[in-house]
Amino acid sequence: MSALSRRRVLFGGAAVGAGALLTACTSNDPGTGAQVKTAASGDANAAPGQKVTIGFSAPAADHGWIAAITNNAKAQAAAYPDVEFKPVEAGADAAAQRAALSTLIAQKPTVIVMLPWDGKELNAAGLEAMRAGIPVVNLDRAFPSAAAYRLQIKGDNYGMGLAAGQYIGEQLKAKGVTNPIIGEIPGIDSLELTQERTQGFNAALSVYGFKVANRRPAEFTADSGQAAATALLQALPKMDALWNHDDDQGIGVLAAIKQANRSEFFMVGGAGSKAAIDAISADNSVLKATVTYSPSMASSAVSLARLIGQGKGMSDLVELQVPKEITLASETITKANADKYAKLGF
């Protein structure tokens, strides 16, 4: 499989909540490191109710974020005694996932949660399920047709760029830097999510009168991050700030920076990996912040799928049903709040 086909579903980092899903607390599952919503006393929604079978499909993990998506979904389903979790393999590409989902649809689960290889290519599978009376929770990779899903829950790629740009702009402004040299290492440039992140970044920087001096795309891997960073550092012998879109590829970026013995700039990451949060907390490298795009959205997707299957709404909303769309916020993790976000690292 090509790097591009493998990475079409990789979205880097972020937000931790979809508003109040349930009146509950968030905890780590000690076995998986997953984020799980656990019931608070007196929460009627969390009490065992109608049996719900949740079908689940996501691509195999070739990236830390994707692995965490599946771990979170499994752990959240296991937290509910009234949920049967029925995962199906997504296969090697969109066609294989479509075939697996058709088999799942024939088994008539109550709800299906899916992170598609490609939203456009799996739109037909969403429509098939919805027409069969099975609500679909579209996780992160959007279907073009609103009729293909009951709920779409996703991260905010444009918001990631905004958050990164705002942090960099504020830091440079506080230092009195008026004409900064700013670098950018995105992921795969052909992906819409990468383009959205860059658009948000540029928009935030423009508020301060700043712009990117040099930009070198990577491929969401440590090796590609190291290669892109090496080229960027050679192109910019002096730099004030750097945004790397993805913390997994950031491992290679930091290795290249260390190898080049460069430390005159600060760096912002993307996604909120455990390694990045630990490095920010230790404050022993150029990495000073990361903007979130959290795989905990999969836990939220399962919790909401359960409510949809039981015909319930969200505890803190007046409406009787779960909303149609939820976009999670991208938050900024710094040394000041790293301890708070450490449990969310993947």
- Compute CA 55 distance to the chain's CA centroid, rounded to the nearest angstrom: 20
Identify the helix (H) or strand (E) that includes residue 66: helix 64-78
Phi-psi region of 140 (alpha: psi -120 to 50; beta: other; left: phi over 0): left
Residue 32, classified by CB atoms within 10 Å of its CB into exposed (0-12), middle (13-18) or buried (19+), is middle
186 contacts 217 by C-beta, under 8 angstroms: yes
pLDDT score at 91? 87
- From the list 216, 325, 247, 302, the residue with the least C-alpha distance to 11 is 247
- From the list 161, 157, 203, 147, the residue with the least C-alpha distance to 11 is 157
- 112-152 residue pLDDT tens: 999 999 899 999 999 999 999 999 999 988 899 999 999 99
pLDDT score at 36? 73
pLDDT of 20 strictly over 60: no
Contacts 24+ apart (CB under 8 A), 284-288: 285/254, 285/257, 285/258, 286/242, 286/254, 286/257, 286/262, 287/250, 287/254, 288/171, 288/334, 288/335
89 against 305, higher pLDDT? 305
pLDDT of 153 strictly over 80: yes
Average pLDDT over residues 152-162: 96
Mean pLDDT of the chain: 88
CA dihedral defined by 189, 183, 258, 343, rounded to 10 degrees? -70
* CATH assignment, 157-292: 3.40.50.2300
pLDDT score at 47? 87
Residues of 145-177 as b/e, b for ≥16 C-beta within 10 angstroms?
A: eeebbbbbbbbbbbbbbbbbbbbbbebbeeeee
Q: How confident is the model at residue 187 (pLDDT cuts 50, 70, 90)?
A: very high
Q: Where are the domains of the chain?
A: 18-155+297-328, 157-292
pLDDT of 10 strictly over 50: no
Identify the helix (H) or strand (E) that includes residue 214: strand 212-215
pLDDT score at 301? 97
Percent of the chain with pLDDT over 90: 76
Length of the chain: 346
Residue 41, classified by CB atoms within 10 Å of its CB into exposed (0-12), middle (13-18) or buried (19+), is exposed
Q: What is the C-alpha end-to-end distance of the chain, expressed in Å?
A: 25
Average pLDDT over residues 248-256: 96
Amino acid at 217: P
CATH class as words, domain 18-155+297-328: alpha beta
Pairing of strands 151-154, 325-327: parallel
Residue 290, classified by CB atoms within 10 Å of its CB into exposed (0-12), middle (13-18) or buried (19+), is buried
DSSP 8-state class, residue 229: H
Tell me if domain 18-155+297-328 and domain 157-292 are identical in fold.
Answer: yes
pLDDT of 337 strictly over 50: yes
pLDDT score at 37? 62
Beta bridge partners of 101: none
pLDDT of 13 strictly over 60: no
Compute the radius of gyration of the chain from its Cα atoms: 20
pLDDT score at 28? 52
- 59-114 residue pLDDT tens: 987 667 888 999 999 999 999 999 999 999 898 899 999 999 999 999 999 999 99
- Compute CA 140 distance to the chain's CA centroid, rounded to the nearest angstrom: 8
Average pLDDT over residues 182-188: 96
